[in-house]
Amino acid sequence: MYFRLEAEKMEGIVLSKYAALSKNSKGRITKEEKCTIRTDFQRDRDRIIHSKAFRRLKHKTQVFIAPEGDHYRTRLTHTLEVAQISRTIARALRLNEDLTEAIALGHDLGHTPFGHTGENVLDEIHQNGFKHNVQSLRVVDLLESSRESKGLNLTYEVRDGILNHTGDSIAMTLEGQIIKFADRIAYINHDIDDSLRASIISEDMLPKDCIKVLGLKHGERINTMIRDVILNSHNSNRIGMSEEVKFYTDKLRDFMFENVYLNKKAKGEEEKAKRIIKLLYEYYMENFDELPKEHKNFYKDLDCSREDIICDYIAGMTDRYVINKYKQIFIPKSWNK
């Protein structure tokens, strides 16, 4: 029995007229036989979850570099929170939860070690610049590979959502548009939570007008923002917030930039992190042959520059791996006779 066909049939019955139906997907870069059980978007979600790039997110910075504490967010827990928020919105709007979840789980696969600090350094020194959303697409299209093929060969809709989850661009599906809002809702609120835990800010510092509209507590603010997105996107061909909630959400984000993201205490180790990535990049540019053999061999039949190969290698590192690699190359070892 083809369970996938039943699932596709149910999508057509249950989902909104604005939803992206898996049977109507624009397809994959390389055509392949469909699964008898899972829809195309379900397969994409599973491929992302089982990827090495997804597992590495647990050791990549969200905001605080190398925090001492088990409860600070990592890039992985951020991704899971984005997925949870996204699915809540998608379910309420009767959009495709599987597509929404797949995009959410894959949206940050290209993030660097040390979070946006690492991203900014690579953007400065790499000849073609660096943006984590573009790199996330490169991960699923090329770098995350198996013995059989390069890349995960995801559907067009998932790839589009990953690429357009940030910045001014807009995803082609409503499911993809949800991720942009869910991402912001997640990071603003969990970064406030982590900053309170780290004593970088206190509750009485939060803008009073924002708190009045959005709520004082973590769960209250998330609930307000999610409800607002749902109410303002219901029976619509666009995803959006009300002007009021968007204004105070943006104001709260500005507060976080001023008091946390650009705060010297919170970002005290940032200059060291920048230096590590820059030195490693320069080192491999001068000592290209010292890159791992398996990494260089991966590009054997590809038209990739030396700079791209080095950038891919460093961007894929976890925080602890990049620190250990720096120590291995630049820190003198004790001499043994």
Q: How many whole angstroms separate alpha carbon 225 and alpha carbon 263?
A: 26
CATH number at residue 107: 1.10.3210.10
In a domain, residue 279? The reply is no
Q: How many whole angstroms separate alpha carbon 32 and alpha carbon 249?
A: 43
pLDDT at 68: 67
In a domain, residue 305? The reply is no
Q: How many whole angstroms separate alpha carbon 251 and alpha carbon 206?
A: 10
In a domain, residue 303? The reply is no
The count of structural domains within the chain is 1
In a domain, residue 299? The reply is no
In a domain, residue 320? The reply is no
Domain span at 171: 3-261
Q: How many whole angstroms separate alpha carbon 288 and alpha carbon 277?
A: 15
What is the three-class DSSP state of 25? Answer: coil
pLDDT at 268: 67
In a domain, residue 13? The reply is yes
Q: How many whole angstroms separate alpha carbon 255 and alpha carbon 206?
A: 8
In a domain, residue 293? The reply is no
In a domain, residue 199? The reply is yes
pLDDT tens digits in sequence order for the chain, 337 residues long: 589 999 999 999 999 999 999 999 999 999 999 999 999 999 999 999 999 999 999 999 888 776 667 788 999 999 999 999 999 999 999 999 999 999 999 999 999 999 999 999 999 999 999 999 999 999 999 999 876 778 999 999 999 999 999 999 999 999 999 999 999 999 999 999 999 998 999 999 999 999 999 999 999 999 999 999 999 999 999 999 999 999 999 999 999 999 998 877 666 688 999 999 999 999 999 999 999 999 999 999 899 999 999 999 999 999 999 999 999 999 988 776 6
Degrees (nearest 5) of the Cα angle 34, 38, 44?
A: 80
